[in-house]
Amino acid sequence: MHVKSFLIKEFQGWNKVEILSLSAVFLVIFLNAIILKDSIIAVISAICGILYTVLAGKGRISCYFFGLSGSGCYCWLAFQNALYGNLALYLFYYIPMELIGIFKWGKNLKKNSNEIIKTKLSNKERVFLFIICIFASLIGIYLIKSTGGSKPFLDGITTVLSIAGMYLTVKRCIEQWIIWIVVNGLSFFMWANLIIHGTKAYSTLIMWAFYFMAAIYFYLKWKKEIYHTI
């Protein structure tokens, strides 16, 4: 399939709400980039991250190409700002998982459609995942606190849940959106607190707000599709 034909199919089926929401958040990011003179790499990272989230929600495999681009940009930003924990998370987990996701999703596409077949965890798997996340979060909080991290509670929880969320994304599970709602909500709170105390990161705050609302939107959309077909 030619690249042009592939992209046309991937971006078909967008409703007015999705188009307007995406256009609005991109406009805000561009305005912030001009007014606050944001880094070009930061702008590209934000745009790719938002496109990744929306396309993942719509079950389109092309999300991973934007995810890889955004992750690569974020790795550079993390390296420049000596955020070595974030650099390691993206470089050694997110990027490999996104590559795996391309092949996993490619094998689970609906017939006559570019959308993936969506799944859900069993009750036993949900309980197991919940217990693992609780213990891993406690360990993460302890490790971050012991190394002098400024926000060990939020940092530890969001890091562990992000790992779990990415795993569930590759597995095409609806439960990923519940995790992303929590992660994005906590991340929004964390960045809002930083802005209140003087950090200039308004575009980042807008990005997390968009992620939070998108996670709720796609959870409801996936729920309707999955349980309607059972």
Say what the pTM is. Answer: 0.84
pLDDT band, very low/low/confident/very high, at 201 (cuts 50, 70, 90): low
Is residue 143 a part of any domain in this protein?
Answer: yes
Residue 85, pLDDT score: 66
Last residue of a domain, one of 90, 109, 128: 109
Q: Are 62 and 55 in contact (CB under 8 A)?
A: yes
Structural domain count, the chain: 2
Is there a single domain that holds both residue 83 and residue 137? no
Between CA 29 and CA 204 the distance in angstroms is: 9
Residues 130-144: what's their mean pLDDT?
Answer: 89
Is there a single domain that holds both residue 202 and residue 125? yes
Full residue range of the structural domain in which residue 156 is found: 120-230
Is there a single domain that holds both residue 187 and residue 211? yes
Residue 64 has pLDDT above 90, yes or no: yes
Residue 42 has pLDDT above 90, yes or no: no
Q: Where are the alpha helices (DSSP H) in the chain?
A: 3-10, 16-36, 40-57, 63-80, 84-89, 95-106, 123-146, 152-170, 175-196, 202-229
Last residue of a domain, one of 109, 142, 168: 109
> b vs e for 61-91, b when ≥16 Cβ sit within 10 Å of the residue's Cβ?
bbbbbbbbbbbbbbbbbbeeeeeeebbebbb
Tell me the three state secondary structure of residue 56: helix
Last residue of a domain, one of 85, 109, 133: 109
Is residue 9 a part of any domain in this protein?
Answer: no
Report the chain's mean pLDDT, rounded to a whole number: 84
Mean pLDDT lowest for which of 40-44, 80-84, 224-228?
A: 80-84
Is residue 2 a part of any domain in this protein?
Answer: no
Is there a single domain that holds both residue 175 and residue 221? yes
Is residue 115 a part of any domain in this protein?
Answer: no
Residue 3, pLDDT score: 62
Residues 45-52: what's their mean pLDDT?
Answer: 88
Residues 139-156: what's their mean pLDDT?
Answer: 76
Question: Any idea what DSSP says for residue 61?
Answer: T
Residue 83, pLDDT score: 64
The model's pLDDT over 182-194, given as tens digits with 9 standing for 90+, comes to 989 988 887 787 6
Within a 10 A sphere around the Cβ of 31, how many other Cβ atoms?
12
